[in-house]
Amino acid sequence: MEARATKRYLRGSPRKMRLVIDLIRGKSAAEAKAILQFSPKRAATAAEMVLRSALANLTVKNDEIPVADENIVISEAFVNQGPTMKRVNPAPMGRAYRVRKRSNHLTIVVSSLD
């Protein structure tokens, strides 16, 4: 049985989020939670929230019967690019520099080994 959780429009570039997601792909849920909890990257907190949501979705899908985190594996985890907000910073001699504020969409799919 598998369940998924998605968080859309997360602030931060998809490239930085992929660095965090690559650490947990294919790991057990318990190991992934530990990795994300102690990761110094800012994107790890959002990834941990989505992972917890996916685990809760799996429990609900399994008729409220809890499954041990050691028996759950992260089967898929991917990051897609979201919309980019374009802003302008003043620059010397009347020019303007464009600032791109990127966002991403995070999806995590977990499945039980049973």
Q: Where are the domains of the chain?
A: 2-112
Q: In this predicted structure, what is the pLDDT of residue 46?
A: 97
97 near 91, Cβ under 8 Å?
Answer: yes
Backbone angles phi, psi at 6, to 5 degrees: -130, 135
b/e map 17-54, b = 16+ CB within 10 Å: bbebbebbeeebbebbbebbeebeeebbebbbebbebb
Q: In this predicted structure, what is the pLDDT of residue 114?
A: 72
pLDDT over 90 at 66, yes or no: no
CATH number for 2-112: choose from 3.40.190.10, 1.10.240.10, 1.10.10.60, 3.90.470.10: 3.90.470.10
Measured distance CA(80)–CA(87) in Å, rounded: 21
Residues forming a β-bridge with 100: 86
pTM: 0.91
Using 50, 70 and 90 to split pLDDT, how confident is the model at 64?
Answer: confident
